[in-house]
A and B are shown apart, each in its own frame.
Chain A
Amino acid sequence: MYTAEMLSLIETVERTREKRLKEAFPRLSAAEKTNILQSYHPDHMKDSMRPVKVGPNAGEKMPHELVDVLESRSMIDVDGLALENIDYDVDVLVIGGGGAGTAAALLAAERGATVLLATKLRHGDANTMMAEGGIQAATKENDSPAIHYLDTMGGGGFQNIPQLVNALVQDAPICIQWLERLGCMFSKDPDGTLNTIHGGGTSRKRMHFAHDYTGAEIMRTLRDEARNRGIKVVEFSPAVELIKDDQGQCAGAVLYNLETEQYLIVRAKTVIIATGGSGRLHINDSPTTNHYGATADGLVMAYRAGAKLIYLDATQFHPTGVAFPEQIVGQLVTEKVRGLGAQLVNIDGEQFIYPLETRDVVSSAIFRECRERQKGIPVPSGYGVWLDSPMIEMLHGKGTIEKELPAMFRQFMRFGINMAEKPILVYPTLHYQNGGILINEDAESEIPNLYVAGEASGGVHGRNRLMGNSLLDIIVFGRRAGKNAAEKAKTVKLGKLTLEHTKSFNKELEQQGLGQRVAPILLPDYRGKISK
């Protein structure tokens, strides 16, 4: 329920709505974009980062919260653990049961590999389940993979790795077709034409969706298929360390059963890390949209094993996190709300940014509006700006919000706010890890037999991911990882299993006077607090 003050401020928004409906706010020039990013985006704030002191990226700056986990020691007693007592012996070990991991497991199994999928929570409790807005692919006649390529590179600051983007855009339609055949209910016209809309930074309407449960629809479909295929899944058993063999190849992982508190040894010819992102590290003390298990575990394990990380100094803040009501602060308001025409508006009822600039730019504009220009709307957690959702009903007809954004609508109705009638309050929230473990177009890391897919990987999105390119990324590279890992497993000969790399990493930490903390942290600790 809005407070009386908020309700009176809403009248200002309502007063300017008619005029704004006809008003197109100018897009920023390249120079203006650079300027606003450098002045307001947390990536450019000096005191939010420090150089990591150990490992393959030593000397490079990353957010403190990430450096903290990278500079932590292993939770395992390296000398005390008997690696000979193997609990699972498989061709392919997939770590992480989100969209990327499940797609990988399906493709690996299809190629005849024996697969184990180990995951931290339940299968499908993952960021993938939460994605609302959509998945990009150039499937329409006025669009092409080349245009998709250009949009993606531009969004990423032209720092994306070209081979990865090429794979992303060329595989995209193939992946949508794969999902269609698996029975994903994408929103379609009666003749089968897929519905598509714009997302921030797209030059064609190529965002495919399933109402606003796009990620949930993809995730539950893949999970259902994995169950049908009889793929072995162990839940509540996160990986805590990679195992290598005496030739330096990746050769499995140590799992930790969260319930029995026992370690399990997995020997695998190839390993796929698909552990997702790191929102629950609360970088910059920010609230986050991410699920409970997004704690950068994959980065920590791969880093210790010697894999190089890329672009982890680039963190994506989603411009429209919930700023009010307090109970759901930080949760996502999908970009689709802006895609459907809702404008961002300050306390005086004025627009201050073109709503579909890229996310980093829109977030920076909101920071500026609230901090420097003091035109934010006060909320218990600080400030917010209006997202004028009722415009959607005026542009597309009454009932559009309930039909196209049922998850969003329900979320606010639970707290007595009808977003079809009243604008909602938003503020940037920690959303996505733009970088990750460096991979090539075959989804291989620099460590032999170690593959990475999804949000845990880095390079494909450059320094800023476009909406809809992540759901795409997890399918494209999840499939590639699964297929390649299964093929590779056919020829792999493993030597003796070892944790020497963990030992020497621990030693490196000691030399630097580091390693007081333990990681991966597996689950955030909110005991005695009200979490963000």
Chain B
Amino acid sequence: MDRIQGSRCPRCLRVLAPPARFCPDHPVAMEPVELHGYGDVISFTTLHSPPEGFRSPLHIALVELPAGARIFCHGSETKLLRVGRRVAVEAVDQVFYFSHLGLADRARLFWRRAGDRGERVTAMAKSVVKRLFRGPKDETTEAP
């Protein structure tokens, strides 16, 4: 299972990802923590005229990890996505991606983010060595 790097407030135990230097609720330095790489979809959207540096359509999801941290993720498509659905999350070069699909789809989604060829190849290679995480319920068999 993929792990996500986060941070925890020693005072209120609030968890954030990616790590933040200070807790947003207290002027206290946060401590590093490792988080499970899955979560529930809070919301998602698709941009058809994304900002410069991103390919269209650009899929963005807001996912809540079990530790309570909400993270922004990219993904290859949102057809199967629903609010409340559990998805796998992984970080590649510090960018979070959600997926509930096969490895091929997962590899494809890295192409959504613009970058030079070298960066993309590195990201693909990193992904291939990681095993696909499937949530407690296998949602890959569910019809759209």
Report if A and B associate in a common complex.
Answer: no
Residues of chain B having any CB pair with chain A under 8 Å: none
Residues of chain A having any CB pair with chain B under 8 Å: none
